Chain A
Amino acid sequence: SYVLTQPPSLSVAPGQTARITCGGNDIGSKNVHWYQQTPGQAPVLVVFNNEDRPSGVPHKFSGSNSGSTATLTISRVEAGDEADYYCQVWDVNTDHRIFGGGTKLTVL
């Protein structure tokens, strides 16, 4: 089955840029979606179809996808961005929805 690989953790200083990666075989040919989850809360969609933002999501969240890596970029990181972030794709071969293992973003 299709596997998505994320780094378990990432630490960034306030005001800097966080780049969270999501690796997968030929992931560039798929649409990748990103979710933010804070403790005790349901996930929230922050980027869909590689680079689109749902209504209400700040422009500081952006995405890209090429080759074997998709990236969620968070600009001007602040304390409120501290959360777990998950990538997700739809595997068209099985019709299964696949999540990456998640990345815990820590703001120093």
Chain B
Amino acid sequence: EVQLVESGGGLVKSGGSLRLSCAASGFIFNSHTLNWVRQAPGRGLQWVSSISSGSHYIYYEDSLKGRFTVSRDNARKSVFLQMNSLTAADTAVYFCAVGIWAGESVFDFWGRGTLVTVSS
């Protein structure tokens, strides 16, 4: 069974930093692109970042480039999101997602998400 479990969310002050983790199981981790998607309270889904299987290709939503850094550890089957200079606009549930059966650009498995709250 495919499982993605996010952790590391919490309450942080504006200007602070946070590092999210996503632990994966149930699939060949080092063969797939991993993704982060976020959802602000009452708002829609927003793609954040993608990292290819060997970390050679990394992409970010334009407005987040420079503040967010994605990485992965294939030996530990985990992907990470380092978030710096956080503002209230970054308050959201952060989901880890992967495309396994449907293709690399599709999110066919999701974690339950971890809530990040940035206080001003």
Give chain A's interface residue range (CB within 8 Å of chain B): 20 to 34
Cβ contact of B47, chosen from A48, A52, A97, A101, cutoff 8 A: A97
Residues in A whose Cβ lies below 8 Å from that of B112: 42
Q: A43-B107, A97-B107 are in contact. List 8 more A-B contacts (CB 8 A).
A: A35-B45, A43-B45, A54-B102, A55-B101, A88-B45, A88-B106, A89-B105, A99-B37
Residues in A whose Cβ lies below 8 Å from that of B50: 95, 97
- Closest chain-A Cβ to B81's Cβ sits at a distance in Å of 15
* A54 and B99 alpha carbons, distance in the complex (Å): 12
Residues in A whose Cβ lies below 8 Å from that of B27: none
* A89 and B59 alpha carbons, distance in the complex (Å): 15
Cβ contact of B105, chosen from A42, A44, A90, cutoff 8 A: A90
Instruction: Known contacts A95-B50, A97-B35, A99-B46; decide if A42 and B57 are in contact (CB<8 Å).
Output: no
Q: List 8 A-B contacts (CB under 8 A).
A: A1-B62, A35-B107, A49-B102, A54-B101, A90-B105, A96-B61, A97-B35, A97-B107
What are the interface flags for A51-95 relative to B under an 8 Å C-beta threshold, 1 for contact and 0 otherwise? 010110000000000000000000000000000101011100011
> B45 contacts A33, CB within 8 Å?
no
B108 part of interface (Cβ distance < 8 Å): yes
* A55 and B109 alpha carbons, distance in the complex (Å): 12
Report which residue of A31, A84, A86, A90 has the largest number of chain B beta carbons within 10 angstroms of its beta carbon: A90
> A97 contacts B105, CB within 8 Å?
yes
> B95 contacts A95, CB within 8 Å?
no
